[in-house]
Structure 1
Amino acid sequence: MAAKFARAVIVGATTPLGKELAEQLNAATHMAWDLVLLDGDAAGQVTAAGDEALVVQPITADGFDGADIIFFATESSLTREHWKAAVGKGAGIVDLSGALTAEDGALLLTPLLYNSLDLAANVTTTAHPAAWMLARTLSGLPTNAAVTATVLLPASIHGAAAMDELHAQTVALLSFQSMPSEIFGGQSAFTLRDAFGEGAKANFAAQEQQVNLDLQRLGKALSIELQAVQAPVFHGVTASLFIDAPVGFDLDAWLKSLPSDEIQVLTGDEEVSNQSANGQSTILVRTKLATGSRKGVWLWLAADNLQAAARNALFNAEKLLQLRPSSTVQ
Structure 2
Amino acid sequence: MTLVSDPTAPRLAIAGATGAVGRTLIELIASRGLRHRGVRLAASARSAGRVVDVDGRATVVEDLEHTDFSDVDIAFFSAGTSVSLQWARKAAAQGALVIDNTNAFRMDPDTPLVVPQVNAGVLTGRPASGIIANPNCSTIPLVRLLSAVQERWGIRQVVVSTYQAASGQGEHGITELREGSELALRDPGAELPAERFTAPLAFNVVPFIDKLLDSGFTLEEQKMLQESRKILGLPHLDVTTTCVRVPVVNSHSEAVWVEAAAPVDRTELVARLAALPEVTVHDRDVPGRFPTPLTAGNPDHVHVGRVRVAPHNPRGFWLWLVADNLRIGAALNAVQIAENVLERGLL
TM-score (norm 2): 0.83
Alignment of 1:6-45 (within 5 A): 6-29=10-33, 31-40=35-44, 41-45=46-50
Q: Percent identity?
A: 24
- Contact 1:236–1:278 (CA<8 Å) still a contact in 2? no
Distance in 2 separating the partners of 1:250 and 1:307? 31
Are 1:229 and 2:229 an aligned pair? no
In structure 2, give the amino acid aligned to 1:146. Answer: Q
CA separation of 1:102/1:130 partners in 2, compared to 1, >3 Å: closer, same or farther? same
Alignment match, 2:332: 311
Alignment match, 1:194: 207
How far does residue 25 in structure 1 lie from its aligned partner after superposition?
1.1
Are 1:138 and 2:143 an aligned pair? no
Distance in 1 separating the partners of 2:185 and 2:134? 38
How far does residue 87 in structure 1 lie from its aligned partner after superposition?
1.7
Alignment of 1:179-218 (within 5 A): 179-195=192-208, 205-218=218-231
Distance in 1 separating the partners of 2:106 and 2:165? 21
How far does residue 225 in structure 1 lie from its aligned partner after superposition?
2.6
CA separation of 1:87/1:247 partners in 2, compared to 1, >3 Å: closer, same or farther? closer
How far does residue 116 in structure 1 lie from its aligned partner after superposition?
5.3
1:262 to 269, 278, 302: 278
Which is worse superposed, 307-316 or 14-23? Answer: 307-316
Total equivalences in the alignment: 320
How far does residue 115 in structure 1 lie from its aligned partner after superposition?
2.7
1:56 to 40, 52, 61: 61
CA separation of 1:278/1:83 partners in 2, compared to 1, >3 Å: closer, same or farther? farther
Which is worse superposed, 219-228 or 293-302? Answer: 219-228
Distance in 2 separating the partners of 1:278 and 1:21? 20
Secondary structure in 1 matching 2:95: coil
How far does residue 117 in structure 1 lie from its aligned partner after superposition?
6.2
Secondary structure in 1 matching 2:104: coil
Secondary structure in 2 matching 1:140: helix
Are 1:323 and 2:346 an aligned pair? yes
CA separation of 1:259/1:2 partners in 2, compared to 1, >3 Å: closer, same or farther? farther
Secondary structure in 1 matching 2:295: helix
In structure 2, give the amino acid aligned to 1:302. Answer: V
Alignment match, 2:112: 107
In structure 2, give the amino acid aligned to 1:126. Answer: N
Alignment of 1:150-299 (within 5 A): 150-176=161-187, 177-195=190-208, 205-221=218-234, 222-260=237-275, 261-267=277-283, 268=286, 272-277=291-296, 280-290=299-309, 292-295=311-314, 296-299=316-319
Which is worse superposed, 1-10 or 257-266? Answer: 1-10
Alignment match, 2:52: 47
Alignment match, 2:131: 123
- Contact 1:150–1:240 (CA<8 Å) still a contact in 2? yes
Instruction: Flag structure 1 segments of 5+ consecutive residues without an equivalent.
Output: 325-330
How far does residue 291 in structure 1 lie from its aligned partner after superposition?
5.8
- Contact 2:106–2:227 (CA<8 Å) still a contact in 1? no
Distance in 2 separating the partners of 1:247 and 1:88? 47
CA separation of 1:123/1:171 partners in 2, compared to 1, >3 Å: closer, same or farther? same
In structure 1, give the amino acid aligned to 2:92. Answer: V
- Contact 1:106–1:123 (CA<8 Å) still a contact in 2? yes
- Contact 1:235–1:278 (CA<8 Å) still a contact in 2? no
- Contact 1:186–1:196 (CA<8 Å) still a contact in 2? no
**Structure with higher RCO (Cα < 8 A, 6+ apart):** 1
How far does residue 278 in structure 1 lie from its aligned partner after superposition?
6.7
Distance in 2 separating the partners of 1:219 and 1:117? 14
TM-score (norm 1): 0.87
CA separation of 1:301/1:277 partners in 2, compared to 1, >3 Å: closer, same or farther? same
In structure 1, give the amino acid aligned to 2:38. Answer: D
Secondary structure in 2 matching 1:185: coil
Distance in 2 separating the partners of 1:153 and 1:286? 17
Instruction: Flag structure 2 segments of 5+ consecutive residues without an equivalent.
Output: none
In structure 1, give the amino acid aligned to 2:42. Answer: L
Alignment match, 1:327: none
Secondary structure in 2 matching 1:57: strand
In structure 1, give the amino acid aligned to 2:333. Answer: N
In structure 1, give the amino acid aligned to 2:279. Answer: I
